[in-house]
Each structure stands twice: as structure tokens, then as C-alpha cells.
Amino acid sequence: MFTAVLSATALSAQQAIIVNGGQYGNPNNNVNLVSYDIKTDVYTTIDTIHTQSVQTLLVEGNVAYIAAQDSIVSYDLNTNRRIAAAPFNGLSTKALSIYNNKLLVGNWYGKTTDNLYAFDKSTLVLIDSVSQITKGVSNMLVHNDSLYIAQNYTSSGFTDSAGYISVVDLNSMNFVRNITFSNNGEGLGFLVKNTAETGFLGINTNSIVQYDFTTRTISSSPSIFRLSAGAAKYARKGDTLFLQVNDNIGSISLSSGNIIDTNIVAYRPTSFTVDTLSNTIYATSTDFFSYREGKVFDQNGTELDTLIVGYSPEIVQIYYGNVTSTDYFEKELMSFSVFPNPASNQVIIDLNTFKPASYIALKIIDISGKIVQEKNFSSMNVFSLAIDNLTSGIYLINLQTERYVGFQKLIVK
């Protein structure tokens, strides 16, 4: 071993991406996309979309997809330039997801057929729609070749009751079946995979639905807490799902579905995200008319900073791509082995003769610098790691202890 000065740029969050919905009723104030450089505190307006509502932001690699009310727009976050734009065929966009070359877009309300559309994700040319999706799409989740769609029963006013989950075959773009469950609480808001990726949790305002991919069984557990079913109000780190619990930012275990904390931050957000590297929380709040606010908290709930936001700051996310600044740290370099390499399902990591003092923090980083998997291990020399959730490509495995650091390239086939 020897002492080495190592660059940590790939491990530093670079930008907070904020999407403002514009001031309601003011035709001169529209949706705009803004980036905030976390290191330099520099704000850059990337673009304006001439509509007054924004629903969802999806980031894949260095490309951001925005679902505005009447259109879909994509951006290159490395150059901050618009790539493509297309009109939306429904009354209002709501949810976004990606499957291979398809950008899947859900319609929010007002239609009784064709509430799911597929666009070419590069050109945003409309490819297909699914007529059997009869209710608005509040959220959706891709698993293998299937799409799971949250469907709610429409009631009077703006309150929906939780309905069922529709399944679509993504190869044929055909409706397959509905998954029903016994629950009549308020709307089913978003679906998120559990830690083992053997199923998913569906978050309802007063219960948590759990589904198993293999057995196709579903259960619903009532919650004594009021949960936020808004897709802009959750983030995940490892086994922890951060979401709004009552009027605070709290957390749930993705493996058990149990509440971990009801009050990490005493703040009621319109949107929030978690920087998984610095463990900070970026949150925005608005009344959609005049009130607008952005704040940064640590995970003890202490306010650290404020964010400059426009009217209706409805979405905030962290982007780990373009390198804008460099940090350095000094640790002793350790070596370790990874096999098989290339691999597809699982790898064995062997620390050889190195004996860690207490813990090993592992991160897998893609070529854009984004952390795609992280896990902590107790003091051991050999351990296995599942990688079947990773797409084919080149990754960097980073191991760290209190004093040591090591890197190895991983090829996923």
C-alpha cells in the first residue's frame, strides 16, 4: 500500500435541476428549466417551455425529459441545450418512464382510452398508444418487459380513490391484465421497487400496497400516518424511501414497508430530492400563485442554505453528470479483485490480504459519474454483490474504509 492523492470528482454531486411551473394566470411567466451548481452557487436558466404547468422530470444519463402540460421536451444536461420537443396527444402529461428506445408518457385525466403513449426517446416521435388504459396514469414502473401503471377511480372534485394496477407488455405494447387489491382509500400515487427488486411498493395516502413479481400476490397494509402520494415527493437511497409523512419529510423501509422516521425534516414540500452523496435534502414549496421557496437541509433537519427558485418550483432533482469542480482527498490505496469480469448477474469481491478495520462502503459508478448502486459491508475479506439490475456497459467499483480507498473497472454484459 502507498499514500496517494486521488480525485473525487466522480463522487461529487454537480447540479440541482429545478423545473418551475410558471405563475398561474400569468401568460408571461411560463415553465422554465434551471440548473444550480452546488459547488459554485451559480444558477443557469436552460430553457423556457411556453406552457404554465409541469408534471414530471426524468433524467437518464445526461438527458433530461420534461413532461409539461401539453408537450414533451428533452435536454442534454452536459451542454444545457434542447434536443427535441413534441406535442402531447392527451389533455395533460403526468408520468414518464423509459424502456429501451421508448419514452413512455402517461395522460393525467379526461380520457377514457389511450392514456399511455410511447415516443421514440431520441427524436420524440410518437410510436404507439395503448387503448385499454382507461384511466389517468398517476405513476408507472418498468420491470423486465412489463409496465405497471397506477390507476385510480375518479370521484367528484379532485380527490381520487385507489383503484388497481394495469400491466402492459412493452414489447407488443398490449394490455395484459389488471392487478386488483382491497383498498378504497385516497389515490394510489407512485410505485417504487423494493430493495431486492422482487416486487414493488405502491404508496397510497393511507396505506402501502406490496406486490411480488414472481408469485403475483398483492397485499395492502393500512398506515396510521398520512403519506404523500405525489411522485415529486419521494427519493430513495439504498433501502430507505424518503417521502412526505403527515406534513414532514420522513422515510420508509423499502424491504419491509415499515415507517422508519416520521419527521426527518419538519417541512411540507411541493417537491424534494436527496443528494445521496452529501446526505442533504433539497426541497421547494409553492402555492402556485405568489409564494415560492427553496431550501437545503441536512438529515438532522437543520436548514443549511436556500435555493433561488421561480414561480411554482414543482420539481427538483440532483444530476451527477457534468464535472464542474474538483475535490481531493488523501487516503491509502488498497487493491482488490473482482470476478468474474465481465459479469451479468453477480460478482465476487476479494480484498486479498487487506483486512478492513470495521466497515467497507461500496459504490458502483456509471460512465457519467452517477452512483447506480451503493452498499455497506461489515469487516470481511470476500463478499458477493448482485449486479443483475445494471444495464450492459462499463462501471467503476469504488471501495472505501476510514483510511483506505480502491477502484476497479467492472464490465457488465
Is the pLDDT at 57 greater than 50? The verdict is: yes
Give the pLDDT score at 39: 73
> Which residues are CB-neighbours of 157 under 8 A, at least 6 positions away?
none
Q: What span, in angstroms and rounded, lies between the C-alpha atoms of 343 and 251? A: 33
> Which residues are CB-neighbours of 174 under 8 A, at least 6 positions away?
130, 132, 168
Cβ proximity of 410 and 387 under 8 Å = yes
Is the pLDDT at 276 greater than 90? The verdict is: no
Q: Rg of the Cα trace of the chain?
A: 22
Q: Tell me, which fold does domain 8-319 have in CATH?
A: Methylamine Dehydrogenase; Chain H (2.130.10)
β-strands 404-412, 328-333 pairing: parallel
Is the pLDDT at 257 greater than 60? The verdict is: yes
Q: Indicate if 334-412 has the same CATH topology as 8-319.
A: no
> What SS3 state is found at 233?
helix
Burial class (CB in 10 A: 0-12, 13-18, 19+), 256: middle
Is the pLDDT at 3 greater than 50? The verdict is: no
* Mean pLDDT along residues 34-58: 89
Domain ranges of the chain: 8-319, 334-412
222 upstream amide cis, omega within 30 of 0: no
Per-residue pLDDT tens digits for 290-301:
899 999 999 899
Q: What is the CATH number of domain 334-412?
A: 2.60.40.3080
> Given pLDDT bands bounded at 50, 70 and 90, which one contains residue 153?
confident
